[in-house]
């Protein structure tokens, strides 16, 4: 009976955390999950949800610790590829790109056509200056999913950062933006292209729209600052 009561209490905390998470109230969801953890510290469901909630609240180091603990569990219901992708995301957000690539390679050894893992690896390679390898990853993504607009936008941005073919960057960026005209990242890329071309009024137009969609973006604000200096 005691075990039934314990499981019932844990389920109650998990259900409450799920409701709060659906309302984006992650701080209170964390409180519920911590209460559940106090009852069963080795429960993989609790660990997984704590990792997700810490990630959603920007506490990436803490989230990564839970995902790492979860991977060490001998058996678990959780999809290990999903957990490793979440851990890689937390590492990327902490700028630990090489370690993130290690886990993404482990994911891709299991799920070779996982375009989410591939996009994350491309981003990490870009951030470590391995532009050619990143572009190859994005091309591979598009061979699997020709409508993967993140890959188009990422290739466009790499071409801009490496002072490569601006016309090709424009072509890729337009493919992405035409598909998703309210995507702040794609608008930002177009702004950078026009800034590079010296068409500052057009750049301002795209940056302004991008910032209205994603007002907390540090990257968009940096690009606007660059434009203002020009």
From-to residues of CATH 1.25.40.10 in the chain: 2-165, 166-230
Going by C-alpha positions, the residue among 146, 79, 154 that lies closest to residue 124 is 154
The top-level CATH class assigned to 2-165 is mainly alpha
Residue with tokens 């540090």: 218
- How far apart, in whole angstroms, are the C-alpha atoms of residue 151 and residue 142? 7
In contact, 175 and 152? CB cutoff 8 Å: yes
The top-level CATH class assigned to 166-230 is mainly alpha
Tally of residues, the chain? 230
pLDDT (tens, 9 = 90+) of the chain, 230 residues, equals 356 578 888 888 888 888 988 888 888 899 989 988 999 898 999 999 999 999 999 999 999 999 999 998 876 667 889 999 999 999 999 999 999 999 999 999 999 999 999 999 999 999 999 999 999 999 999 999 999 999 999 999 999 888 778 899 999 999 999 999 999 999 999 999 999 999 999 999 999 999 999 999 999 999 999 998 87
Q: Which residue pairs, CB below 8 angstroms and at least 24 apart, start in 63-70?
A: 63/90, 64/90, 64/91, 64/94, 70/44
- How far apart, in whole angstroms, are the C-alpha atoms of residue 49 and residue 78? 11
- How far apart, in whole angstroms, are the C-alpha atoms of residue 18 and residue 140? 36
Q: What are phi and psi of 147, to 5 degrees?
A: -110, 25
Predicted structure pTM score: 0.87
String of DSSP letters for 62-102: HHHHHHHHHHTSSS-SS-HHHHHHHHHHHHHHTT-HHHHHH
């Amino acid at each position: 009976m005691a075990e039934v009561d314990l499981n019932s209490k844990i389920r109650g905390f998990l259900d409450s955390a799920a409701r709060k998470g659906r309302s984006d109230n992650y701080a209170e969801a964390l409180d519920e999950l911590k209460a559940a953890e106090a009852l069963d510290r080795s429960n993989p469901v609790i660990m997984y949800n704590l990792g997700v909630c810490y990630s959603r609240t920007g506490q990436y180091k803490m989230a990564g610790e839970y995902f790492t603990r979860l991977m060490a569990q001998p058996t678990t219901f959780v999809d290990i590829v999903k957990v490793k992708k979440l851990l890689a995301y937390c590492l990327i957000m902490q700028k630990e790109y090489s370690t993130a690539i290690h886990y993404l390679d482990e994911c891709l050894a299991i799920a070779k056509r996982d375009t989410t893992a591939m996009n994350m690896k491309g981003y990490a390679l870009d951030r470590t200056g391995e532009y050619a390898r990143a572009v190859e990853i994005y091309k591979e993504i598009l061979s699997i999913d020709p409508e993967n607009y993140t890959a188009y936008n990422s290739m466009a941005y790499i071409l801009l950062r490496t002072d490569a073919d601006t016309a090709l960057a424009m072509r890729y960026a337009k493919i992405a933006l035409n598909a998703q005209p309210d995507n702040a990242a794609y608008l930002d890329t177009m702004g950078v292209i026009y800034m590079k071309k010296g068409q500052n009024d057009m750049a301002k137009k795209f940056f302004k729209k991008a910032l209205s969609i994603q007002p907390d973006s540090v990257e968009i604000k940096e690009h606007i600052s660059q434009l203002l200096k020009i």
